[in-house]
A = this chain, B = another copy of it.
Amino acid sequence: VHPSARALEVSQDRLVEKTILQELGVGTAPFRAVDDRPSLDAAIAVLGLPAVLKTRRGGYDGKGQAVLQAPGDVDAAWSELGGVPLILERFVPFESELSIVAVRALDGTIACWPVVENTHELGILRLTRAPAPGVDAALQASAEACIRPLLDFLDYVGVCCLELFDVDGELLANEMAPRVHNSGHWTIEGAHTSQFENHLRAVLGWPLGSTDARGASAMVNCIGGLPDRDAVLAVPGAHLHDYGKNPRRGRKVGHVTVNAADAASLEPALERVLELVRASADG
């Protein structure tokens, strides 16, 4: 099997993915395979509630999953999702959702961008702060210790993202994305080398460029519609990316990256961009 096919196989099946992460010593939420209603009940008995029931394949942006808060939620979740292979995961009371984007070169060299913090709204990524507020060398090292063994195991080449939950300073891996990732779009303006450039460098066998951040950045997704263009462009340090897509409810049609010398000076510009984006889009 070609390494890129293996990475797709692994990432397309949440059960395979989490099993491999555990075998590599990377922490995840406790989980169980669910193939029928008895195995769901057995999984709940082991993991307890709250828990999250997910399809093993095909979900994104919060689709294909249901949170089980109490025993009364189980029937509805089963009738919504049952019939395809599922996975039940213990609900993780995370403090923040983080992700780390990394690139692995043909020669096995790995470079990681700073850990970022992601905020979701209605299951869709709304905001990425880069670097994540409060990230220090220890947390960066922990995050890299999650993604590096995975990339090596897969003999991966190119850019990959790993979503992480921060639970009291301990990182649990949630989901990998074997590609350039939305939470890495800030690197276009916010890092010395963007995830796109380094992906190309990697697959071409070229030396990787520096993944260091340049100041502080935030990336705001435009969901369902674009904000007022001139107003966004007038915000200091704001860069508007228009994907040229037809607007549709819940669809990412662009993003705005805000960059500044440091996190404090970023804040007013970010507030203004959030206001403009919220005024125009789904909410």
Contact = CB atoms under 8 A, between A and B. Distances in A.
Nearest to A235: B207
Interface string A202-227: 00001101100011000000000000
A58 to B, nearest CB: 38
Nearest to A231: B207
A233 B259 contact: no
A107 B22 CA distance: 60
Contacts of A233: 201, 206-207, 209
Contact of A237 (B192, B215, B234, B237): B192
A192 B229 CA distance: 18
Nearest to A234: B207
Contact of A259 (B192, B207, B215): B192
A244 to B, nearest CB: 15
A230 B210 contact: no
A236 interface: yes
Nearest to A209: B233
Copies in the complex: 2
Interface residues of A, number: 16
Interface string A81-117: 0000000000000000000000000000000000000
Contacts of A206: 229-230, 233
Nearest to A261: B214
A238 to B, nearest CB: 8
Contacts of A229: 206
Interface in A229-283: 229-230, 233-234, 236-237, 239, 259
A191 to B, nearest CB: 11
Given A201-B233, A207-B233, A214-B215, 12 more contacts: A192-B237, A192-B259, A206-B229, A206-B230, A206-B233, A207-B230, A207-B234, A209-B233, A209-B239, A210-B236, A210-B237, A214-B214
Closest 6 CB pairs of A and B: A207-B234, A207-B233, A207-B230, A206-B233, A210-B236, A214-B214
